[in-house]
Homo-oligomer: A and B are copies of this chain.
Amino acid sequence: MSAITIKLLAERLQLSTATISKALCDSHEISANTKQRVLALAKELNYVPNAYAGSLRGNKSKTIAVLIPEVADSFFSQALNGIEEVALAKGYHTLIYLTHEKIEREKAILNALAGGRVDGAIMSVTVETDSIDHIREFNRQLPVVFFDRVCEEIDAVKITTNDFECGYNATRHLIEAGCRKIVLLSVSNSLSIISERSKGFKKAITEYGLNEDDCKTIDCTEDPMHNCQLIKDMMQGNNRPDGILATVEKLTTEIYLVCQQLNINIPRQVKVVCFSNQSSAIILNPTLTTITQPAFEMGRAAASVLLKLLKNNTLILKEECAVIPSTLNIRNSTTGYVSEV
């Protein structure tokens, strides 16, 4: 059997090859009636598109890229599951790329992808992403949807959670539980989410009239050993905090370990809240008060809107943005109650 090409389909249906091509990609520019005729003939003749030839002709690859810093984090692994659920249902491949928090890697990935391997990208930027030309450049060619860690300066759809409010609510919760010296354990200043959480933290500190010198922000790193030392120094210092708000899940282990080592009781001597989606929060000693992000739902929302953009590039981006609220789950790490063994 000779190969069935778009040209052949066009000849048979007396349509242009561009129309056939767009109909096969389910473009909004083609009427439902025409799409149906094209698909029926394609099916009858057993037309199989060649993925690579398709790319060369500028067709869709039916593939989306997801750029995330890492997978060893409950938020990102749950968000990925949300993205995949939507992509799978719509017949899209998902290519997952890890940036490992390196802007150089983010640049290299976007550069390589701009070559036509994917139809669009969903991304959460790295902690190093302070310049954004590489994202702008990619976005000139292909649609980008940001989730969680966004670039405010770029006109694109952003799926976020209420980070400012969460920073504020978590801090207020610590203050109402009796804390007066609250430290924010942070990771970077260029990340949108961290700066929002930090603003919420500072607003609560000011509003409740706490001493700002006692309520500092400490920047942690990617190195667990270094973070343990930072936390140890902080807990052994003259002005020991009685409350900790950690902006990153993985700091949990480090905070708990240092307190164990120094024999500092959580929650009696220091109360702890973490931004975290880890399922083990409920079986820690003590159980951990968390701000739980709607990771799965954010992933779903990001994928849904990207697939919508691929079909219809006339959408108004601002109207597609969504803020899905997180939940403060109060557990023993911030209450007076200590679980008995």
Binary contact track A80-116/B, C-beta < 8 Å → 1, others 0: 1100100010000111111010000100000010011
Asked if A45 lies at the interface with its beta carbon under 8 angstroms from chain B, I say: no
The oligomer's copy count stands at 2
Docked Cα-Cα span, A93 to B108, in Å, equals 10
Docked Cα-Cα span, A250 to B80, in Å, equals 18
Q: Which residue of B53, B84, B257, B260 contacts A98 across the interface (Cβ within 8 Å)?
A: B84
User: B278 contacts A280, CB within 8 Å?
Assistant: yes
Asked if A284 lies at the interface with its beta carbon under 8 angstroms from chain B, I say: yes
Docked complex: A60-76 residues within 8 A CB-CB of B: 70-72, 74, 76
User: B280 contacts A260, CB within 8 Å?
Assistant: no
User: B286 contacts A285, CB within 8 Å?
Assistant: yes
B residues in contact with A188, CB < 8 Å: none
Docked Cα-Cα span, A52 to B141, in Å, equals 17
Given contacts A253-B279, A279-B250, contact A115 B71 (CB under 8 A): no
B residues in contact with A289, CB < 8 Å: none
A49 to chain B, nearest CB (A): 10
Docked Cα-Cα span, A105 to B88, in Å, equals 9
Q: Which residue of B77, B84, B253 contacts A280 across the interface (Cβ within 8 Å)?
A: B253
B residues in contact with A98, CB < 8 Å: 80-81, 84, 94, 96
A196 to chain B, nearest CB (A): 25
A interface residues, tally (CB under 8 Å): 47
Q: Which of A76, A84, A253, A341 has the most CB of B within 10 A?
A: A341
B residues in contact with A260, CB < 8 Å: 283
Q: Which residue of B78, B84, B286 contacts A100 across the interface (Cβ within 8 Å)?
A: B84
User: A283 contacts B252, CB within 8 Å?
Assistant: yes
Asked if A15 lies at the interface with its beta carbon under 8 angstroms from chain B, I say: no
Docked Cα-Cα span, A115 to B63, in Å, equals 14
Docked Cα-Cα span, A59 to B76, in Å, equals 34
Asked if A265 lies at the interface with its beta carbon under 8 angstroms from chain B, I say: yes
Asked if A51 lies at the interface with its beta carbon under 8 angstroms from chain B, I say: yes
4 other A-B residue contacts (CB within 8 Å) besides A71-B80, A72-B78? A50-B115, A71-B76, A286-B341, A341-B341
